[in-house]
Structure 1
Amino acid sequence: MTRTYVIAEAGVNHNGSLELAKKLIEVARDAGADAVKFQTFITENEISMYAPKAEYQLENTDDNESQFEMVKKLEFNKSQFEELIHHCKNCGIEFMSSPFDLESLDLLVNEFNLKTIKIPSGEITNPLLLLNTAIANCNIILSTGMSTLSEIETALAILAFGYIEKRIPATIQECFDTYFQPTSLELLKEKVALLHCNTEYPTPYEDVNLNSIETIRNTFGLEVGYSDHTEGIVISQAAVAMGATIIEKHITLDKDLPGPDHKASLNPKELNELIKGIRIIEKSIGNGRKVPTSSEYKNIQIARKSLVAATEINKGDLLSWDNVTFKRPGTGISPMEIFKILGKRSNRAYEYDEVIKDI
């Protein structure tokens, strides 16, 4: 089992406050997360003035403001992100962010020199964002919420074309022609990880479908993780047990803060419990070989049984079900050998209840 890469998703739970954002970085650091992730966007480039809010956003924010107005209040500029990146370096945790438009991608890649870009579920059908991220030769973590296997494959084909051809294609067929080249899969294995995801906040447990982790991994042959929007920590931990190598989970300082994502996020105590549990699960998964472990070898002689004299046995007596039984300890001949000795004569005498070690 490789070490699970844990991304603490600060997202927009900073509520537009730089100080709150810094506290979220510290919470992620203190819990032992590998990275803290934000969202980089220019609202005018991302959202139409007429875009409606999602149902969960309506439940957790002002009914009278539009999605555009809600998101605009959560937008950070270049200098604010520079300050957050500096704070991450001081805290010893990786800074990550998801771009939602090409200008934001350019900022992250060419101004901030990020080597890994997380592409959110809503952008999996955005060919220009996919292409330009691959053309920049970034490592990509791609969320697959709301997607079919066909849509994931199309996104991967676009990424493969961007990585290899370094240009904008004229047709989608060009992307698939590149995708089906023998070298493409190895390149995608090196550069791309997929995240199973459900984008409902919070995700109903019956809609989680953790078995999709294996389906995605078997279909595309890539590393697969899980972006978790359920309440609590148990589903993320279960995902690790099922082979997810990346876990992404929203964090907040207080679930009662105003904003769209706080209620489906983890507070600092829960984040600590999540990561502690993940590290325990990693140790527990093992290599899959079913053999006695080093810690249990010593128990074999204590817990298992041996052939034992059920009565006094004289040298030369025939061994039978009447004079041989099974009892602890397991220091003698295994009971599984009983059929080999039945009807044979004992080559020595045994007292009642004595462990049989030599026949």
Structure 2
Amino acid sequence: MNIVDTDAMFEKLFIIAEGGSNHNGSLERAKEMIWAAKECGADAIKFQNFTLDTLFAPPYYEKTLGIKDSSWQEEINQITLKHYWIPQLKDEADKAGIMFFSTPFSIEAVEQLQKYVPFYKVASGDITYFQLLEKIGKTGKGIFLSTGGSKIEEIDLAVNLLKKFDLPFICLLHCIMLYPPPVEAMNMNFIHTLQERYGLPVGFSDHTLGIESSILAVGMGAKVFEKHFTLDKSLPGADHKNSMNPEEFKKYTIELRNAEKMLGNKERIISKRESKERIYARRGAYALREIKCGEKINEKNIIFLRPALGIKADKYYSLLGKRVKRNIRKGEPVFPEDIEDK
């Protein structure tokens, strides 16, 4: 499943179930999440690959954030996705029929994942970690790049760096780096800025608790959607309560794909069902009173009513002054063959 038609990837919505570290350190739970994500209609399941010593400088992290004890370090160790899980998760995803990939938070993680993922995701916090971007670029694989908390100049630098590599795609994800973000922080119009400024595929990493912002993003042309996913919102861990459970995620995918269908295209298309409705909704010419053979049509002897069985209402001006070729009773429809050509 590593062979991916990336040219076709963005022709329809691509929905990612962000499993993150919601496996809580359980390989079996991670596998269960893979099957649940597939059942919910996701195109891909994504996890995160980090370790305490490749992501944090613990003493300074605690000092900067005002953390009073070091128990969080053990929690990080507990939820770390073990590198030897990777081939097993890939195999499980292949069995389930869903794509598997991950967010590497270190150079080592990029290398560990390389054989098993078709593309990578870079978290918002690492958009300025150029060493990581370069390492991913050298793999030649596509990249989803989150832009949460980023200045436009930082996005410019990251995109310019990645463009040096012949990657199948660079997809920018609009994201607000809050969990969850308030409505007034969403700035959804930035999706248009990303589309216009870079000419790259654009998606939306949605940290809100609902689906409204994602539905809006579909209408704005976003092609990729990432939403945090858990089997159980009551499990211990900071991310579970901000994630969707399977029931919620299934509704999410259904609503997004329905919104995509609603978009249609820019042409005016009238369906067969709608064409039938035209007969009943549009008006045709009827005799307002008896019209004698040879009499001229005027505004006092015809009326336009539903259904549009005879001459249609838009022929009104060309119909005026024409003579009828037969006696037409009051209330009868007036057909084209009832009218003289002259």
Same fold (TM over 0.5): yes
Structure 1 distance, partners of 2:331, 2:40, is 57
- Per the TM alignment, residue 201 of structure 1 is displaced from its structure 2 partner at its CA by 0.6
Q: Does 1:293 align with 2:298?
A: no
Written as runs of structure 1 = structure 2, the 5 A alignment for 1:210-229 is: 210-229=188-207
Question: Any unmatched runs of 5+ in structure 2?
Answer: 1-9
CA contact (8 A) 1:319 1:345 kept: yes
Distance 1:253 1:219, change over 3 A: same
Q: Which residue in the other structure is 1:246 paired with?
A: 224
C-alpha separation in 2, matches of 1:93 and 1:63: 42
- Residue among 87, 104, 108 paired with 1:82: 87
How do residues 1-359 of structure 1 correspond to structure 2 at under 5 angstroms? Answer: 2-49=11-58, 50-52=60-62, 64-65=69-70, 68-109=73-114, 112-161=115-164, 163=165, 190-358=168-336, 359=339
Amino acid at match of 1:103: E
SS of the residue corresponding to residue 296 of structure 1 reads helix
Structure 1 distance, partners of 2:24, 2:151, is 32
* Structure 1 residue 302, shift from structure 2 partner: 1.8
Deviations 1:28-70 (A, max 9, x none): 1211211110001122111121225999xx9xxx984466454
Q: CA deviation at 1:144?
A: 1.2
Question: RMSD in angstroms over aligned alpha carbons?
Answer: 2.3
Structure-1 separation of matches of 2:320 and 2:241: 69
**Counterpart amino acid of 1:47?**
F
Q: CA deviation at 1:24?
A: 1.3
Take 1:244 and 1:143, find their aligned partners in 2: how far apart are those partners? 13
Q: How far 1:268 moved relative to its partner? A: 0.8
Aligned-partner residue type, residue 237 of structure 1: I
Superposed displacement of residue 206, structure 1: 2.4
**What amino acid is the match of 1:81?**
I
Instruction: Please state how far the C-alpha of 1:205 moved relative to its aligned partner.
Output: 2.3
User: Deviations 1:79-129 (Å, cap 9, x if unpaired)?
Assistant: 1233322222222221110011111112111xx342301111111111111
Taking the aligned partners of 2:63 and 2:265, their CA distance within structure 1 comes to: 46
Q: 1:105 to 1:278 in 2, by over 3 A?
A: same
Change (3 A) 1:27 1:113: closer
Shift in Å, 1:12: 0.9
CA drift of 1:279 comes to 2.6
Q: CA, structure 1 residues 346+53, in 2 after alignment: closer, same or farther (shift >3 Å)?
A: farther
Q: CA deviation at 1:332?
A: 1.7
Counterpart secondary structure, 2:327: coil
Residue identity in the other structure for 2:163: A
TM-score by length of 2: 0.88
Corresponding position of 1:172: none
What is the TM-score when the length of structure 1 is the normalising length? 0.84
What number of residue pairs does the alignment pair up?
A: 327
Q: Which runs of 4+ in 1 moved over 6 A?
A: none
Deviations 1:327-350 (A, max 9, x none): 011122221221222233334332
Map Cα deviations across residues 187-218 of structure 1 (whole Å, 9 max, x no partner).
x6x42111111121112222223222222112
CA distance in 1, matches of 2:78, 2:159: 33
